[in-house]
Structures are given as C-alpha cells and as structure tokens.
Amino acid sequence: MSTLGDMAKRPPTVRIKRLGVQLRKLREERDLTLDQAAALLMISKSALNRMENAQVITRAHEVTYILMMYGVSESDDLWTSMIGLASAGRSRDWVKRHAAVGAASRANEFIRLEQDSRAVRAYEPLLVPGLLQTADYTRAVMQSVSPLPGVDIDQAVEYRMARKDALTRQNPLKLDVVLGDTALRQRLGGRAVMRAQLMHVVDAMDCDNINVQVFPTGTVKHPGLDGAFTMLDVEMGDFTVVLIDSRTRSICIEDEEEVEPYRQTFRDLQELAYPPTESRQIIKRAAEEFDDVSNDDDSRGAMA
C-alpha cells in the first residue's frame, strides 16, 4: 500500500475523526503498539499514526485492508460501520447535483451528514425547522437578521430547499420534530407567508416519515430550556451526532456519553408535547388565524 490517504487541507470531518478513533481502538484491543501494527500492515508508523489522529483522509479500500489484517470479519457490524465512515454515502451524488448552489452554505458537513442519515430529530422552540420550510419562509428568516459577508440569500434559499430531497428519496429520511408553539405565532414574512408555511407543515404530516408535535407554552416542566438542537442518526457509519446552531458557527457533539442526554431530552419533550393528531389541528388553527385581517398588521408583534 503506497499511499494511505491524502493529507487533509481542512479540519477533519466528523467521519474522519470517528474513523481515527475506531482504528486506534481496534489496534489497542489487539494489544498492538504502533510499531507492531505498522509492521503487520506493511506501512510506516507515521502513516498509521496520522490515520488514527485524523490527519489524513483514509479511503474505504484502505480501511477494508486494515480490517482484514486485524482479523475483522466482513459479517461483523463493525466492518460495515467503519467502511461507512470511510465512504461518502448518498451525500456524494446529492452534493454533485447541487454543486452550483453549494457554495452558499456554511454548513456543508452538517448537510452531508443530514443526507446520509436515516433519521433526524429536531427541537425548535422559535422556528419551523429547515427541512419543513417553504422558500418564502426561509427567505423571511434569512432576511430577519443582517446577512453574513459573502452570503447570497437566493442561493442559500435554493440550497435549503434542495435539502428536502432527503424526505422524498427512496428510503426517505424519518423526521421527528418538536415545535414550540411560539413558532406558530411568529410574523415572519407576513400573514400570507406564515399561513402557507403552517399549511405546508400540516400537509407534510400526512407523510408516514414525518412526525410533528407542538410543545405548549406555560408548562410547569420544560426539558428544552437550553434551546434548539438537531440529532442526526447517520446511516453510513452508524452513529449519532447532535448539532447546535448559532449565528456564526455550529457545534457538533459526537461523544456518545454527551449525545445520550439529548436523546433523553427529546424523549421528554415528546412526552410533554401534544400528540401528533392534536398538534396537526393546533397548527391548522394557527394557520387559519392568519386569514383574520382584523388582527393587527404584519409590521407589529405577535398574534393576539
């Protein structure tokens, strides 16, 4: 094996970091030093060290060779998981299809992981989550804050709409959302935009792979006080990450011990939220309220 991956020019992705951790764990489970493992694999010690420390991009065929040399069976779930970490999955084709607008996004890694996920769980107290947004609502959200330098809003809207491919593809993404009822009473974009957005959510709930529950204001207990978060169950590599988005950057939580509290928080939110059937009616009623022109105009605050 002459080359074990290209040197990464950017910070390592979630996949590469997880792959490095797994490679080191495999070696240590076999009581091999770096020198011994390098000799077994017939590569340099420095090359193996770079792989384990996520300093290179390790390809699927290289991982296959290492697993074989370490005695991992192809029928082992670990084999599938690690090959998945080294593979691009369905996101590769998706990125190619939308390359023209891809530069508009600052969250390329998140979107790749999203496209490679089997399930997404999102808690959003203030906004409809991106995968359920209409183009007009997305534009209103983006125009509500001062744009970051270099961001083309038209391209950013197009890119967000493209992300919804995951909901309608073969073997579609399973989406579970807990939506704060405050999100139903925002005025983003005006009455027509909000009504269309909320009715879009209602229609989306007819799909078997989409579940939305409304979380009520004024509960005695509120597990989601820390704010919005998204959990991705990534199929290629079989792992879960939590994304917490902010104005200028996203925080990715990868460690299983840190991910588990978010799983529990989401379960607690679902338990306290209105059930899906009742939530559907609540969202529909909120949409219909935007037809009432007797309410104060679009330039003012929340609905009466």
3-class DSSP string for 244-268: EECCCCEEEECCHHHHHHHHHHHHH
Report CA-CA distances (Å) from 113 to 86, 88, 147. Answer: 13, 9, 25
The residue behind tokens 């990868």 is 254
Report CA-CA distances (Å) from 291 to 134, 183, 189, 193, 274. Answer: 18, 17, 14, 11, 24
CA–CA gap between residue 297 and residue 294 (Å, rounded): 8
Residue 200 near residue 134, CB atoms below 8 Å: yes
CA end-to-end span of the chain: 69
Q: Which of 16-20, 156-160, 208-212 has the lowest mean pLDDT?
A: 16-20
Return the pLDDT at 104. Answer: 45
Q: Please tell me which of 107-111, 130-134, 236-240 the model is most confident about, judged by mean pLDDT.
A: 130-134
The tens digit of pLDDT for each residue in 17-37 reads 888 888 998 999 999 999 999
- Residue 7 pLDDT class (50, 70, 90 cuts): very low
Q: Which tops the pLDDT comparison, 218 or 210? A: 210
Return the pLDDT at 304. Answer: 34
Return the pLDDT at 116. Answer: 87
Return the pLDDT at 89. Answer: 67
Return the pLDDT at 215. Answer: 97
Residue 105 has pLDDT above 80, yes or no: no
- Cα angle vertex 243, ends 258, 253, to 5°? 30
- Cβ-in-10-Å burial (0-12, 13-18, 19+) of 231 comes to buried
276: phi then psi, degrees, rounded to nearest 5: -55, -45
Q: Do the bridges between strand 56-57 and strand 6-7 make them parallel or antiparallel, or are there none, so unpaired?
A: antiparallel
How many residues would you count in the chain?
Answer: 304
User: What is the DSSP secondary-structure string of 101-123?
Assistant: HHTT-S-HHHHHHHHTEEEEEEE
Residue 83 near residue 60, CB atoms below 8 Å: yes
Q: What is the mean pLDDT of the chain?
A: 86
Residue 276 has pLDDT above 70, yes or no: yes
Can you list the domains of the chain with their CATH numbers? 10-85 (1.10.260.40), 107-289 (3.30.870)
Q: Which of 36-50, 200-214, 266-280 has the lowest mean pLDDT?
A: 36-50
Residue 124 near residue 226, CB atoms below 8 Å: no
Q: What pTM did the predictor assign?
A: 0.79
- Residue 91 pLDDT class (50, 70, 90 cuts): low
Return the pLDDT at 246. Answer: 78
Residue 169 near residue 89, CB atoms below 8 Å: no
Return the pLDDT at 294. Answer: 56
Residue 185 has pLDDT above 90, yes or no: yes
Q: Do the bridges between strand 229-234 and strand 117-124 make them parallel or antiparallel, or are there none, so unpaired?
A: antiparallel
Residue 5 has pLDDT above 90, yes or no: no
Arithmetic mean of pLDDT, 2-14? 55
Using alpha carbons, select from 125, 105, 127 the residue that is nearest to residue 189: 127
Helix axes 276-289, 191-204, angle to 10 degrees: 160
Percentage of residues in the chain having pLDDT higher than 70: 86
